């Protein structure tokens, strides 16, 4: 199925994409927009695509690569002089406390990716509450800084789990960056606004994208993963497997279009394991999961360096949400 999706996306891209010429001169038109860069700090065996062959009970027996891969990302960011938000998994923070401290000491934002990387849709409300509070406490203890941001494993806050917003607010989070406004087999709220804004509770108790100040005392800032509107549909463009799938010139063209035509910043995301072509292979995983996970891993680093040259980035952080 994913192959079908990717093929249709590529066909759409070929129809609509024209090569960029005079890129440097066009760049100046949108350079004033600063985008959001985020890194979801988890290891290769924790991704949802491998959840059936890699249950949490097996994690401690696997080779841990997240620390060296995240250090590689930190070095690339230092080289470019760019700061980012790192959504760190509590499970990783417990095993790599020095890494979490290094992220904070180098001026990046430490935010939460939850503790155990279980999709919200597979957790009870009580389990979710404990997971997000546990990770927040671990990260704050390590950094000495308040953690205000959260991103769900696999963007798994959906229409059915918007109670997660209540739990995040009550746990002390101020923003969420979990909604992918797209149709996908694992995640997505296709009709959620594509750009950042507050979510508030209606008088019926439903969470809605805010249109005015009503209910702002119960507001959570939502910064969705950015999509590209093209030919009447929303196309994932801003990171992960899509960054590895599409030629970089297409990604750059799409992201530039969001900055220039829509005058909006985009939210970009990657994972440390996407920088590691040599990572241990997971046995027993299905073809679709393997395709998504291993595609073009050797291209990530080079493309990421170009991305950091072509666009301005900042962490999400307090300045964005208050
Ligand atoms: Zn994740």
Question: What burial class does residue 13 get, using C-beta atoms within 10 Å of its C-beta: 0-12 exposed, 13-18 middle, 19+ buried?
Answer: buried
Task: List, for residues 55-110, the tens digit of each pLDDT value.
Answer: 999 999 999 999 999 999 999 999 999 999 999 999 999 999 999 999 999 999 99
Predicted confidence at residue 283, as pLDDT, reads 86
**What's the 219 CA to ligand 1 centre distance in angstroms?**
24
19-33, 205-219, 278-292: which has the minimum mean pLDDT?
Answer: 19-33
Q: Which residue has the higher pLDDT, 107 or 188?
A: 107
**What's the 215 CA to ligand 1 centre distance in angstroms?**
31
Task: List, for residues 221-279, the tens digit of each pLDDT value.
Answer: 999 999 999 988 999 999 999 999 999 999 999 999 999 999 999 999 999 999 999 99
| Tokens linked to 191 | 């009709």
pTM, 2 dp: 0.90
| Angstrom distance (rounded) from CA 139 to CA 311 | 29
**What's the 258 CA to ligand 1 centre distance in angstroms?**
25
**What's the 113 CA to ligand 1 centre distance in angstroms?**
7
**What's the 41 CA to ligand 1 centre distance in angstroms?**
7
Predicted confidence at residue 60, as pLDDT, reads 95
Residue 4 has pLDDT above 90, yes or no: no
Overall average pLDDT of the 10-14 stretch: 45
**What's the 261 CA to ligand 1 centre distance in angstroms?**
30
Task: List, for residues 167-177, the tens digit of each pLDDT value.
Answer: 999 999 999 99
**What's the 21 CA to ligand 1 centre distance in angstroms?**
36
Q: Which residue has the higher pLDDT, 29 or 318?
A: 318
Q: How far is CA 200 from the centre of its chain?
A: 22
Q: How confident is the model at residue 22 (pLDDT cuts 50, 70, 90)?
A: very low
List residues bridging with 228 in a β-sheet: 235
Predicted confidence at residue 274, as pLDDT, reads 96
| Angstrom distance (rounded) from CA 188 to CA 248 | 24
Q: How confident is the model at residue 27 (pLDDT cuts 50, 70, 90)?
A: low
| Tokens linked to 32 | 């004033």
**What's the 194 CA to ligand 1 centre distance in angstroms?**
20
| Angstrom distance (rounded) from CA 265 to CA 321 | 14
State in words which class domain 7-321 has.
alpha beta
Task: List, for residues 104-156, the tens digit of each pLDDT value.
Answer: 999 999 999 999 999 999 999 999 999 999 999 999 999 999 999 999 999 99
Q: What DSSP line would sit under 148-178, residue for residue?
A: -EE--GGG---GGGTHHHHHHHHHT--EE--
Predicted confidence at residue 215, as pLDDT, reads 61
Query: Is the CA virtual torsion 73, 78, 82, 85 positive or negative?
Result: positive
Predicted confidence at residue 19, as pLDDT, reads 43
Residue 28 has pLDDT above 60, yes or no: no
Predicted confidence at residue 174, as pLDDT, reads 95
């Amino acid at each position: 199925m994913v192959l079908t999706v990717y093929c249709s996306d590529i066909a759409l891209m070929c129809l609509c994409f024209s090569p960029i010429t005079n890129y440097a001169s066009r760049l100046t038109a949108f350079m004033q927009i600063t985008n959001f860069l985020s890194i979801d700090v988890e290891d290769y065996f924790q991704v949802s695509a491998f959840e059936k062959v890699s249950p949490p009970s097996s994690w401690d027996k696997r080779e841990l690569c997240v620390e060296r891969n995240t250090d590689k990302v930190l070095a690339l960011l230092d080289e470019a002089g760019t700061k980012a938000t790192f959504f760190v998994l509590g499970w990783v923070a417990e095993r790599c406390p020095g890494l979490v401290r290094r992220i904070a000491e180098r001026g990046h934002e430490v935010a939460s990716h939850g503790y155990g990387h279980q999709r919200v849709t597979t957790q009870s409300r009580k389990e979710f509450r404990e997971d997000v509070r546990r990770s927040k406490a671990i990260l704050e203890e390590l950094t000495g800084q308040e953690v205000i941001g959260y991103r769900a494993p696999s963007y798994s806050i959906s229409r059915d789990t918007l109670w997660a917003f209540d739990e995040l607010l009550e746990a002390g989070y101020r923003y969420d960056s979990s909604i992918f406004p797209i149709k996908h087999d694992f995640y997505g709220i296709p009709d959620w606004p594509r750009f950042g804004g507050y979510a508030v509770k209606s008088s019926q108790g439903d969470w809605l994208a805010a249109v005015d100040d009503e209910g702002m005392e119960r507001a959570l800032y939502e910064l969705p993963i950015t999509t590209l509107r093209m030919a009447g549909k929303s196309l994932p463009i801003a990171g992960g497997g899509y960054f590895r799938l599409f030629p970089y010139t297409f990604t750059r063209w799409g992201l530039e279009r969001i900055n220039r035509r829509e005058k909006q910043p985009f939210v970009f995301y990657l994972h440390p394991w996407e920088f590691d072509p040599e990572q241990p292979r997971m046995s027993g995983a299905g073809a679709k999961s393997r395709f998504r996970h291993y595609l073009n891993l050797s291209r990530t680093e080079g493309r990421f360096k170009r991305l950091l040259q072509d666009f301005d980035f900042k962490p999400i952080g307090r300045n964005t949400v208050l």
